[in-house]
Each structure stands twice: as C-alpha cells, then as structure tokens.
Amino acid sequence: MVDSYREIPVTKDSHPLIGAAKKCDFAKRGYVEEELFAYGRANVYKRGEKGVELRTENAPYINRILVRRPADPRTASGRVVVEILNATSAVDIDRVWLQTKNLLMREGDAYIGITSKPSSIEVLKKFNPHRYEELSWKNPVDEYLPQFLIQQTINGGVIDQSTETGLIWDMLTDCALDCKSGKLPLGGISVKKVYLSGWSQSVGYVIRYVNDLAYKDGDTPYDGYLAFGGVRMHVPGLNQYEIFSAAGETDTYIKKVTVPFIAVQTESENGSLGNEKVREPNSDEPDRLYRTYDIPGSTHDNYYNMSQYFVGDTDVHDSGRMTVYTGEEPIPNNYPYEFAFCAITKQMYDWAEKGIAAVRCKRIPVSAAGYNVRDRLGNAKGGWRLPPIDVPVAVYVPHVHFIIPNPLGFQLYGCVKPFSEAQLKELYGDLANYERLVREAARRSVQEARLLPEDEEECIAFCLAEAEKYGLKG
C-alpha cells in the first residue's frame, strides 16, 4: 500500500525528467504536469506449485510518478490512463503518452506515468541528484545471484542486486485503487475509469500483471488494458530472480481478462521480436475480452517519436539517450501511427464504458518464417490500414542497416523508400487526383473507425505533403 504521496515542486533549477508541459504547450491546452513521490510498501511475489506465492512482505520503497491532467477538474473526463514507463534504455520513456496525447487532451483524460524499474531510478539520480535522492527500490532480502544467472535475467533489470524489480506489481494495483478512492491527488478530479497501458518491454509487464496479479484479490482494479508495440519474447518474471518467459510459452498468452484488453503491434514485432509466435485470436467471451491489431507501414520506433518530439529537449541528451537517426538508408520511417493509436484508444473507451465491442480487423499475414507478407508495391498486406498505406507514395520498411551498430539489432527503427516520380505519375497522374483518392481513403477509414474524425484533415495533410516531397506534381 501507499502510505503517502508528496508533490515535488518545479523550480528554476529543478524539474522532472521527461516532462511534457513545454513540448505539448500545456498552458494553451489547459493542462498541468506534476511529479509525485509515492512512499509505500510492496510485497514481492514468486512462482509456486499452486501459482503466485508471497516471497517477501511489505518491502518499503519510494517511487516517482508523473501526473498530467486538466487544470480545471470540471473539464476532466474522469478517465485516468496509467502508463508503465518503458525502461529499455534505462531512461523513462513515455511512448504511450507521446502517441496518444492529442486524444487524451481532447477528451480531458488524466495521465499517470509510473517509473517501472530501479535501473531508471539510477538515471534519475544522475540527472538531478538532489531532486531524486530519496527514490529507493531496496531489495528486502540479502540474496545474491551468481554472475551467470545475472546474465540470464538481465531483461528483468538486474543491474544492481541491492534493488528488487518485483516491487512494481503492488505499485500498479495501488495506483489504480488510489486513483479511484481519491487518495492519489489529481486536482479534484472524480475518477470513474482507470486503464493500464504500456509500450514495448512494458507490455510484458502488462501481460504478467494480468495473468498473475490483477485478479489475486478478486476483480481487476483496472477497467481495461492497452498493450502497444509489445515484445512477447520477453515477459518478465515476478521478481528479479526468476527467468523471463520467451515468446510462445504459455504465460506469454493472456489467460483470463474480464475487462477489454487490446494489443497493438507495429510491423517490427513480427519476425524480429517474436510476436508471430503469439498470435492470439480475438474474443468476446466474458472471461476473455480481447483484440489484436497490426498497423502496416509502422515500425517500432519512428522519426517522430525518437527524434522530432525531442527537438530542443536538452534533458534527453543530459540523461544519455541518443535520438539521432543512424541508418544507412537516407529517410527514416515516419509513418503516422499516432492516428491509429488514438482511434484504438477510443475503441477501448467505448468498449469499457459503453459496452460497444471494439471493431475486428484482419491481421497482417505472415510467412512461414514469421515475416510480414507484402503487396505488389512492397507494403504489408492487411492490418489496421490508414490512407498513407492505402494510397501509398513509398514503401514503409520496418528495419534499417545501422551506420553505428545498435546493440538491440535492426528491428527497432525503419526507413522509407519513396516511389520514383515516374511511378507516382503512373499510379496517380497528378496531385489533384491523388488528393481525391486520399480523401476517399480517409473517409473510409473514418467510417470503419480506423481514423477519428478529429484527425482526418491532419492525416490527409500528411499524405499530400509526402506526395509533393517525393515529386508528384500538381
């Protein structure tokens, strides 16, 4: 449980790492950003013969959470989207916020980002030792692993054995319960629904939580689960001493979920990240409310969310995160999958709050080797299609060859291979005809709930700008 929350003020010399207030113009949008420290105690769990068992009880911790919310509670929707901040690069990454922020702020939703690993705590302390010196995920036991086992559990975050990654599970439960009870301060907002979300590695945390912790005390404290860009090849153990589960193993599948669970995949996760081995069927069964959507054209990381969003953000560089594109291919992938993320999040709201089941969508077909099947123009078939992929002016590729070696491999970034001017002319004639086709595609996308009406014109503008850039004449 959390004993107390304390707001950490912003001063001239001290502010949160990965803040969004300036980048997203909160003053204009009527939002505020706050950083809270949670002072609490969490159990550490383990796998036993009869399922989840208690390993250590009431381990004290101090963690940080980011709150972004409407300044005026009267404009709030009553929803809270909780994101398990991604810790792959040891720097908290708020990718769910980044890709859905326009919807969240239009709707008046509150957002909470929760630091999810002790490795991120170390980076926070390096960024601002005074602001973050209190933070602690201390290991409640004096049990140390031999070096060869540390290497096997490195995905669990075992960098310093004086800390314990398994504290996260009770933190997630308490966050939802405290939002609904009003214990977690949200500026007077009356909370009605709380959703848990994660990006990439954090999806493994969502899966482990749903399968092993969400129902341990009865009903799940969350009203829905959003799993974006999941990496099913690494679902973490319950504590840092347990080996993670690999793709295809039983506990990488959702076993039971009585509230909506929506999994969203970019092209990168098939073939490269093991998701082709875990292609779960859609379901409307009461104990398995589940959807999976694939987004053709998109790649795990793209130019916007790795670089453009962070232009002028010196904090990113100070914390050691690299945001420069280093692929051999000259044009990084910039497919605007934020439009799909926003529409899918709206599907979650309607399903959880109105009982309107989320739409079903064809998957991207995969080859025997697990790679996406492509059409005659080179783009992936099937999936959650938007105008840039229905009326393409380029091939969107889910990988690059790095000039500077990437220890995580080729799968995280993608590139764009534009059609030639001659091919564009052959396909579309001129820019005026292309605009007509794009508008028709956008209209279909809105009618089929794949694109929100509020995003339609921005999506069309993206397509037209790309076509002009690659040489389609008016």
With beta carbons less than 8 A apart as the criterion, state whether 158 and 165 touch. Answer: yes
The sign of the torsion formed by the CA atoms of 389, 202, 47, 65 equals negative
Q: What is the pLDDT of residue 288?
A: 97
| Beta strand 257-266 pairing with 224-228 | parallel
Q: What is the pLDDT of residue 270?
A: 85
With beta carbons less than 8 A apart as the criterion, state whether 231 and 200 touch. Answer: yes
Rounded CA-CA distance 90/124 in Å is: 9
3-state secondary structure at position 418:
strand
CA distances from 221 to 126, 180, 268, 339 (A): 34, 9, 31, 28
Rounded CA-CA distance 427/393 in Å is: 9
Q: What is the pLDDT of residue 334?
A: 94
Q: What is the pLDDT of residue 180?
A: 98
Q: Which one, of 331, 342, 427, 334, lies nearest residue 384 by Cα?
A: 342
Rounded CA-CA distance 432/195 in Å is: 43
With beta carbons less than 8 A apart as the criterion, state whether 226 and 109 touch. Answer: no
Domain boundaries, the chain: 2-385
Burial class from Cβ neighbours inside 10 Å (0-12, 13-18, 19+) for residue 250 reads exposed
Q: What is the pLDDT of residue 14?
A: 95
Strand partners, 45: 54
pLDDT tens string, the chain, 474 residues long: the values are 999 999 999 999 999 999 999 999 999 999 999 999 999 999 999 988 888 999 999 999 999 999 999 999 999 999 999 999 998 877 899 999 999 999 999 999 999 999 999 989 999 999 999 999 999 999 998 876 665 555 555 444 455 778 899 999 999 999 999 999 999 999 999 999 999 999 999 999 999 999 999 999 999 999 999 999 998 777 888 998 887 776 667 778 999 999 999 999 999 988 777 888 888 999 999 999 999 999 999 999 888 888 888 888 888 767 766 567 778 899 999 999 999 999 999 999 999 999 999 999 999 999 988 889 999 999 999 999 999 999 999 999 998 888 876 555 445 789 999 999 999 999 999 999 999 999 999 999 999 999 999 999 999 999 999 999 999 988
- Six-digit token string for 424: 């564009």
3-state secondary structure at position 186:
coil
Q: What is the pLDDT of residue 144?
A: 67
Q: What is the pLDDT of residue 313?
A: 83
Buried b / exposed e over 114-139, threshold 16 CB at 10 Å, is: bbbbbbbbbbbeebbeebbeebebeb
- Range 2-385 classified under CATH 3.40.1010: no
With beta carbons less than 8 A apart as the criterion, state whether 326 and 307 touch. Answer: no
Q: What is the pLDDT of residue 394?
A: 98
